[in-house]
Chains A and B, each alone.
Chain A
Amino acid sequence: MTLTRFVTKSAFRNRRRSILTVLSITFSLLLLTLMMTVWRGFYIDKGSVESARRLITRHRVSLTQSMPIYYREKIRTVPGVVAVVPTQWFGGLYMDDKPEHFFAQFGTDPNEIFNVMTDFKIPPDQLADWQRDQAGAVVDSELAKKFGWKIGDRVVIKGTIFPVNPELTIRGIFVAPQPSITMYFNWKYVEEAVSFAKGTAGTFGILADSAEDVPKVAAGVDAMFRNAPQPTKTESEKAFQLGFINSIGNVKAFILSICFAVLFATLLVSANTMAMSIRERTREVAVLKTLGFTRQSVLRLYVGEAVMVALIGGVAGCLLATLLVEVLKQAPRMGFFFLGMKVTSLTSLLAISVAAIVGLLSAVVPAYHAAKLDIVEGLRYIG
C-alpha cells in the first residue's frame, strides 16, 4: 500500500465526518470564490483592449451638470483623439418604477457611438436602419433577452428628468464584451421636444489612439476647458466606473472583512476535525510507530489527510461558485451587479490554494503532537 492510498483510506475512514467537513469547507470556499470574483470584477479586470482606449469627459462639478454640445468639436482637436460622441443619461421609466424594470437609457449620436464603442458588435444593416430612424433605438443583447424584445418592437419610456415620453422602435441589437442593460437612442428626439435639453451633453465618450495616449488626452481635454464656464473632468472608462462602485460605500473593506471571517471560520472547522480524528487514533499512531514509521512519515500522513479533505472542499466550492455566478446573472433583483463577472481559472486556482493552505495549517498542531507521541503512552491510551 502506497502512502497516498493510505492517506486516502484514512481520510474517509469516518465517512460521515469527512463528508461533513468537506461540505463545510465547500460552502466557505464558495463564498470566498464569490467574493474574489466580485473583487476581480471591480478592481482588477481591465476590460477589453478597446475599453482601455476609452475616456469619459464630464462636468467637473458633477455628473448631473450638462456641458454644451460645442465641446465635442473642440475635444476632437485634442491630439490623440480618434472619435468623440456625446451621451446623455435619460433616466426614464419603463412600464413602472419597479427596480426589476430598470434599465439604462442614453441619448446619443447614432453616427458616431459605435466608432467610440469599437468593441460593441452590431450588424451593419441594423446600424444603418437605426441611423435612418430618428425614433429608433439599439439595445444590448442582454437587455433584449431580459424583456424578450425583437427588432421592430415598440418601447415607450416615461421621462422623469426630461418631460417627454419617447416612443422608440428597436432597430438593432448589439453585443458588448461586458453585457449590460443599456439602450441607446437618438438624442435629437428629446432635443426637439424639450427646449432645455437642446445643445447639451451629459458626458462625452472619447476614443484615444492607443491606451498609452489616454492620460495625455485626459490632461489635454481638461486643460482646454479649465477656465470655461463649464470646466470638465476627464478620466479613463475604468476609473469612471470605479467612481460608481465606490459610491455603494466602502466596498473594499466590506469584501475583505467577509473574506477574513470566512477564512478564519474555515480554519477553525478544519482544525477541529483534524484534532478530533487524530485524537481518536492515538493508539493507531503508536502501532504505526512500532511498525517502524518515522516521525516524519506520521506527520506527512496526517497533514496529507487534512490537505486532501480541504482540497476536495476547495474544488467543490469553486465549481459551485461558478454555477452560482451564472445563476446570479439571471436573478432579476441583482440587476446589473453580476453582469460581466466570471469565475476565472486564476481565481479558482487561488481559492483552491487557499483551501490547501488552510488544510495544512489546521493539521500542523495535532499532527505534530501525534508524531511526538510516546509509543508506550499511546498504546495505553483508551479513547
Chain B
Amino acid sequence: MAIPISYNIRNLKLRKGLTIMTALGIALTVTTAVFLMALLAGLQRAFVASGDPLNVLVMRKGSTAELSGGFDASLFPTLKTLPGIAKDNNGDPIASGEWVVVAVLPRRDGTGDVNVTVRGLMPEGLTLRPKAKLVQGRWFTTGQREVVVGKSIHDRFSGVNVGDSMDFAKGRWNVVGVFDSGGTAYDSEIWGDFNQIAADFDRTGGMGSAYLRATDPATAEALKNRVSDDQRLKLEGTLETDYYQKQTSSGGPIKYIGFLVAIIMAVGSSFAAMNTMYAAVAYRAREIATLRVIGFSRPSILTSFVLEALLLSLLGAAVGIVLMLPFNGMSTGVGNNVTFSETVFSLHMTIGVVVMAVIFAIGMGLLGGFAPAYHAARQEILAALRG
C-alpha cells in the first residue's frame, strides 16, 4: 500500500526553513537553465523564421554567405527569364538583385560600436518578403539616399528614428521608415536602394546575391536546381530556408557553454538536495520504523521519499520558472559568424523550454532523492525504534 502524498507535503511544510532554502537552490539552477534554453529558442526562431520557402537565394558558386558573394550584374537578366519565377501584377518576374554589406553603428547605451547588416535591394525585394511590414514612415525611394531600419535596429541604436539621418559609408542617409518582420533576422538589418548602396560601397557593376520568388515550394526546389545546373551562369541556388537554418550555428558557443554551466550547476544542486533529504530521513528515523511496523512495505517507503524529493524539486522548478518570467521577451544580440554583424533576438520561453526545465528539475530531484530514500527503506526497524 502506498503512503499518501499528503504525508510528504505536510513534512515539507513542517520543516519550512529547510524546504525553502533547498527549493531556492534548485530554483536558481532551474532559472539559469531556463535562461540559457530561452536564449537558444529565441535564436533558433529568429533564424528559422527568416527564410521563406518560396524564395531561392542565388550566389556565386562556392560562396557560402551573401556577404562573400559577388557576380557580374549582366547575369541578372538571364536569371529573370528562368521558368518558375512568380510574376507580379504587371507581369514582371519577382526577382531582386541585392548587396549585403556591413556598417558600424554606436550602441544606444554607449557600450561601443556594433557591426550591423546593410542590405541594398530592388523594389521587388520588398515584394518577395511579405513578412516585412512597415510600422512607421514609408519605404525607401529608388535613386534616393534613403533607408528603412528593422525593428531591432530601431530599438537598440540611437539616431535611427524616422526623420533622423545616419552616417555610414560615404555620407548621410535619411531614415524614412521602420519595418517589422516578426522577430526574424531581417529585423536586425538596414534596407536601402540597391544602386545607392552599391555605389557607396564601391560595388557598382556587380551584385552580391539575387533572390527569385517561385510560384510554389515544389517549383522553388526545381528553380534552385535550374540555377545551379546552368553552365552559363556559374551560380548556385539555395532555398532561403536552408540558408538561414545553417546560420543557427552562430549560437554554437552559447549552446555548448550553456550546457556546461547548466550541468555543473545541476550536479551541485543535486548534492544539496541529497543533503536535505538525508537530513529528512535521519530526522524521521523513528517515524519510518513506525510506518514499517504498521505494515507499509519497503518499496512504498522508498517511493514516498523519492516523491518527497520530487515535490521539493518541482517546487524549485516552479519558483525558478516564475523568476524567469519577467525576462521573457528581453532582447539581446548575437554576433552572426555568417554576416559578421549582430543579429538581435529575444529570449523566448516556449512551452518546450518550460517542459525541459521541469524535466531538468525532476532529474535533479531523482538524483538527489534516490539514495536517501533507499537508505530510509533499508533501515533496521528495531534499531530505529530504539533511536
Contacts and interface: CB of A to CB of B under 8 A. Distances in A.
Nearest to B64: A160
Given A24-B275, A28-B268, A61 B169 contact: yes
B140 to A, nearest CB: 19
A17 B279 contact: yes
A161 B265 CA distance: 42
Given A61-B103, A160-B64, A265 B25 contact: yes
Nearest to A30: B264
Interface residues of B, number: 60
B17 A275 contact: yes
Given A97-B64, A269-B272, A333-B252, A31 B261 contact: yes
B68 A161 contact: yes
Contacts of A334: 253, 256
A268 B23 CA distance: 10
A62 B115 contact: yes
A63 B31 CA distance: 37
A31 B268 contact: yes
Interface stretch (A178-186, A240-248, A300-308): A240-248
A248 B345 CA distance: 12
Interface in B62-80: 62-65, 67-68, 70
Nearest to A162: B68
A272 B18 contact: yes
Interface stretch (A3-11, A138-146, A256-264): A256-264
A273 interface: yes
B71 to A, nearest CB: 9
B322 interface: no
- Provide the main secondary structure of the chain A interface: helix
Nearest to B32: A261
Interface in A280-330: 328
B162 interface: no
Contacts, number: 158
A159 B62 contact: yes
Interface in A16-39: 16-17, 20-21, 23-28, 30-31, 34
Query: Dominant SS at the B interface?
Result: helix
B60 to A, nearest CB: 7
Interface in B17-66: 17-18, 21-22, 24-25, 28-29, 31-32, 35, 60-65
A340 interface: no
Contacts of B165: none
A276 interface: yes
A123 interface: no
B342 interface: yes
B271 interface: yes
A272 B115 contact: no
Nearest to A331: B256
A355 to B, nearest CB: 13
B265 A27 contact: yes
B115 A276 contact: no
Interface string B286-299: 00000000000000
Interface of B: 17-18, 21-22, 24-25, 28-29, 31-32, 35, 60-65, 67-68, 70, 101-104, 111-115, 168-169, 201, 249, 252-254, 256-257, 260-261, 264-265, 267-269, 271-272, 274-276, 278-279, 283, 332-335, 340-342
Interface of A: 16-17, 20-21, 23-28, 30-31, 34, 60-65, 91, 93, 97, 99, 158-161, 163, 196, 243-244, 246-250, 257-258, 261-262, 264-266, 268-269, 271-273, 275-276, 328, 331, 333-335, 337, 383
19 contacts: A23-B271, A62-B103, A160-B68, A246-B112, A247-B342, A248-B334, A250-B332, A258-B32, A258-B261, A261-B32, A261-B265, A268-B21, A268-B28, A272-B22, A272-B275, A275-B17, A333-B252, A334-B253, A337-B257
Rank and list the top 8 A-B pairs by shortest CB-CB distance, nearest first: A247-B335, A27-B268, A24-B271, A62-B102, A161-B68, A269-B272, A20-B275, A265-B28
